[in-house]
Amino acid sequence: MCFVTKTFALPTSSRRQVLDITNEVATIVKNNDVSSGLCTVSVPHCTCAVYINEHEEGLVHDVLTLVSGLVGEQEWHHNRIDHNAGAHLGATLLGNFVQIPVEGNNLVLGTWQRIQLIELDGPRHRRVNVTLIRG
């Protein structure tokens, strides 16, 4: 079994936004000859998250609305420090990694599934780690 980790960076441009990072991850998989294995995509940040779902404009809007509704502007204790508790809580709910099977140097995703980074405290420069486990 062999492990490889690659990192790429991307800027975000809004306080809250969703970015489709599927193509970047797929390129890393293809460039590292993973005929069969597992791909873990993670973010080393406390105020953004990754998830898998369709990247359709209406759904992206709904996801942002859902997160805002769950962790929006409330009297969170952490806001006394740097007023971004909602971003921390949203990232906690969504999680900082996803795992995708790999077969034939391709991510095994459903027809509409995309890997997405959700920015909750931007704009910022974010790093994405892609760890590949080859069987």
Domains of the chain: 2-134 (2.60.120.460)
pLDDT of residue 79 exceeding 90, the answer is no
pLDDT of residue 76 exceeding 90, the answer is no
Instruction: Identify the pLDDT of residue 72.
Output: 82
124 versus 135: the higher-pLDDT residue is 124
Give tens-digit pLDDT for 84-109: 999 999 999 999 999 999 999 999 99
pTM greater than 0.85 (yes/no): yes
SS3 67: helix
Sequence-ordered list of residues with C-beta below 8 angstroms from that of 40, at least 6 positions apart, any chain: 97, 98, 99, 129, 130, 131, 132, 133
CA-to-CA distance for 70 and 99, rounded, in angstroms? Answer: 25
Give the residues across from 102 on adjacent strands: 37, 107
The order of strands in the sheet holding 97-103 is 2-11, 125-134, 36-42, 97-103, 106-107
